[in-house]
A and B are shown apart, each in its own frame.
Chain A
Amino acid sequence: MIKIDKLVKTYGENTVLNQIDLEVTSGEVVVIIGPSGSGKSTFLRCLNLLEQPTDGQITFEGNDLLAKNFNIDQIRQKMGMVFQSFNLFPHKTVLENLTLSPIKVKKMAPAAAEKTAQDLLAQVGLADKANSYPASLSGGQQQRVAIARALAMDPDVMLFDEPTSALDPEMVGEVLAVMQTLAEKGMTMVVVTHEMGFAKEVADRVIFMADGIIQEQGTPEEIFDHPQNSRTQDFLSKVL
């Protein structure tokens, strides 16, 4: 579904991503772990071109995203994204956060968009918050709304950029639960996270990134129980 070839991202002299190759297949849940500054978030943000890659190739559902004059807007509809800092629209109600893009971008009928939005809110357990403003919600609730907002566009893949890092510990669980349900329903997911428990339980494949390259990848058992790479071993000994 997503194929990444020799992806490079540099900021001036500083090479953040160095020749990364990766293929994500449909329905797969890929979890990326690694120390801070290893390039995980940059990598994720390159996938929907929020960061412009310096070199390499990204193919999504047969489209070459880095082709000249390629219209990324249509592809982004198919790639939902959840941010560390939620980024809900503060001037819109929860329901409007969910319906805005379907109505304006996909030209959905408002009634249909609202119906979908209500269903999604029910799925994330926030049906009663439809008419609240984001500022009145807790962090966990906001992040669940953000997930529902991304789902409202009916994406083929969901990108999660450290979705629980900005949350108080007691709220992490509710967000992870929503993500787990999503994974179980067969959604293709690429998740950057520090939640090792989530990685172990939900991931089909775990990728360990450090220094801008993929150091090691494999099933959760392979990575967590029998890490081969010394960097992986070192990292896991610190976080587990």
Chain B
Amino acid sequence: MIRFNKVLILFGLLVTLLPFFFVQQVKAAETDPVYDKIKANGQLVVGLSADYAPYEFHATIDGKDEIVGFDISIAQKIADDLGVELKIEELGFDALLGALKTGKIDVVISGMAATDERKKEVNFSNTYMEVQQKVIVRAEDADTFQSTSDFDGVAVGAQKQTTQEELAKTELTGSTVTSLQKVPDLITNLTSGKIDAIVMEGPVADAYVMSNDKLAIADNVTFENGTKETAVAISKEAPVLLEKVNASIDTIVNNDLLTQYQAEANALMFGDEDTVEQGFFAKYVPFYISGTGYTIFLAFVGVLFGSIGGSLLAFMKLSKNKILKVIAAVYIEYVRGTPLLVQIFIVYFGTGVLGLDLSKVTAGCIALALNSAAYVAEIIRAGINAVNKGQLEAARSLGMNQMQAMRFIVFPQAIKNILPALGNEFVTVIKESSVVSVIGVSELIFQTGVVQGASFKPFLPYVIVSLIYFVLTFALSRLLGVAERRMKTSD
């Protein structure tokens, strides 16, 4: 059986590697499409999820927001060795492999473990770091948990789709596992007593314990398979790049450069501890301001182009042509019947598959506009239908054709019904644009994650962001109310 497996693996390896040999022979070695692109553009695009201190996180350096961490140092080293510029692309962790496979980014360096699951999708470089998984608990519970068998009936948290989640399920026998997207959310759950322990990566756990004395590490709990091999993820179509990256990583490992990188990262993380305590607001206001700017921009562009698309859809739906009618109806029902989150992923990765290289913001705007168009279409249709039928008849009786009657008579009146509802749609899109954070558009929710990651405060940033949203939407609805009353009086 074992022998058979080995044969199978060998065979599999041969099959997967064959194309590479072939490609290399034809192209006279030393090249692959991804590597060529990097060289041609003069930049290495590294994808990461910058809410994972000390791996990668936001810090204010000389008054400027920058992404730092030891993964960044590694990325910089690789870029230097390749002789190109380093470009960081921020994404949600879930979106990283999708972005890599669709060519949005060249490599992923985001504390990513080289698991067998992931190896089916992408290649991994040599391991640059091995870390142990640890269990973090509330300080007063530190002595309760002595081994992996002490977790019967205990609520344990872990990040969704991670090694840690797997460990919690397999090795902490009897535990009930809560999987969340983000580490700060897990910490909030732990401190508020919703869960009693979190499985976390060593360096991250250490960072949280150091910054929060209500937390402790259950030192005696050790995992059998708790060693994580962190590596750089690279597309399977990039063997040359893989070779180059491995060379850089070997240099890093052999010269023990990582120790130095980690020290730098830790210094940035805790070096300005005092200022963190002193001026949370002063330090993080810029994040919120920029986030607010993006949120308003997204909502505005989304509703603007949504209105254009929505008008088109509405006219298609109101037209006499059956085919147009059906197309519009199907689109509207489909978009209104599927989650915005899914639509965003489809637009972002779908355009990648089609070979269009859209930026995150563009993709976000397009997704919001396409989504909003369906809702606006219904608003416009309802607004037009609300205009008295006699108006159209009067216009037609004067010899106007359908187009003229709509343009000069019906539409100017429909606008008065449509505008207030359109304003409400704008308010809705402001809130819904938060979903775009998953592809790394740095709007409010994304920035909140950044602040959480950098400040180690899991709860406060949410309170602040909720207030910002409220102020935005409340001010806007007041404004709309005034505008609406103005329009009424002009009747």
Contacts and interface: CB of A to CB of B under 8 A. Distances in A.
B436 to A, nearest CB: 38
Interface stretch (B93-101, B209-217, B266-274, B394-402): B394-402
B481 interface: no
Secondary structure of the B contact surface, majority rule: helix
Interface in A88-110: 88-91, 100-101, 104-106
Contact of A149 (B396, B398, B412, B491): B398
A181 B388 CA distance: 31
Contacts of B401: 73
B409 interface: yes
B398 A153 contact: yes
A91 B387 CA distance: 12
Nearest to A101: B398
Nearest to B397: A81
Interface string A135-160: 10000000000100110010000000
A163 to B, nearest CB: 13
Interface residues on A, range: 20 to 34
A73 B399 contact: yes
A50 B398 contact: no
Given A50-B393, A104-B408, A135-B491, A87 B399 contact: no
B399 A153 contact: yes
Interface residues of B, number: 18
B284 to A, nearest CB: 49
Interface string B370-403: 0000000000000000001011011111111100
A90 B390 contact: no
Contact of A74 (B390, B399, B491): B399
Contacts of A48: 397
B491 A90 contact: yes
B404 A105 contact: yes
B413 interface: yes
A103 to B, nearest CB: 10
A73 B413 contact: no
A132 to B, nearest CB: 13
Interface string B470-491: 0000000000000000000001
Contacts of A50: 393, 396-397
A89 B409 contact: yes
B394 A89 contact: yes
Residue of A76, A79, A80, A88 with most chain B CB atoms under a 10 A cut-off:
A76
A104 B413 contact: no
A85 B392 CA distance: 13
A159 B471 CA distance: 57
A17 to B, nearest CB: 18
A53 B393 CA distance: 16
Contacts of B394: 81, 83, 87-89, 146
Contacts of A146: 394
A79 B396 CA distance: 11
A77 interface: yes
Given A104-B404, A105-B404, A135-B491, A89 B397 contact: no
A76 B396 contact: yes
Contacts of B398: 76-77, 80, 100-101, 105, 149-150, 153
A48 B396 CA distance: 10
A150 B412 CA distance: 21
Contacts of A106: 399
Nearest to B398: A101
Interface string A114-126: 0000000000000
Contact of B413 (A77, A79, A90, A150): A90
A35 B380 CA distance: 40
A85 B397 CA distance: 14
Contacts of A150: 397-398
Contacts of B388: 87
Given A89-B409, A90-B413, A91-B413, A101 B390 contact: no
Interface in B406-457: 408-409, 412-413
Interface of B: 388, 390-391, 393-401, 404, 408-409, 412-413, 491
Given A80-B397, A100-B398, A101-B400, 17 more contacts: A48-B397, A50-B393, A73-B399, A77-B399, A83-B394, A87-B394, A89-B394, A89-B409, A89-B413, A91-B412, A101-B395, A104-B408, A106-B399, A149-B398, A150-B397, A150-B398, A153-B398
22 contacts: A48-B397, A50-B393, A50-B397, A76-B397, A76-B398, A80-B397, A83-B390, A89-B394, A89-B409, A90-B413, A90-B491, A91-B412, A91-B413, A101-B395, A101-B400, A104-B400, A104-B408, A105-B399, A105-B400, A105-B404, A106-B399, A153-B399
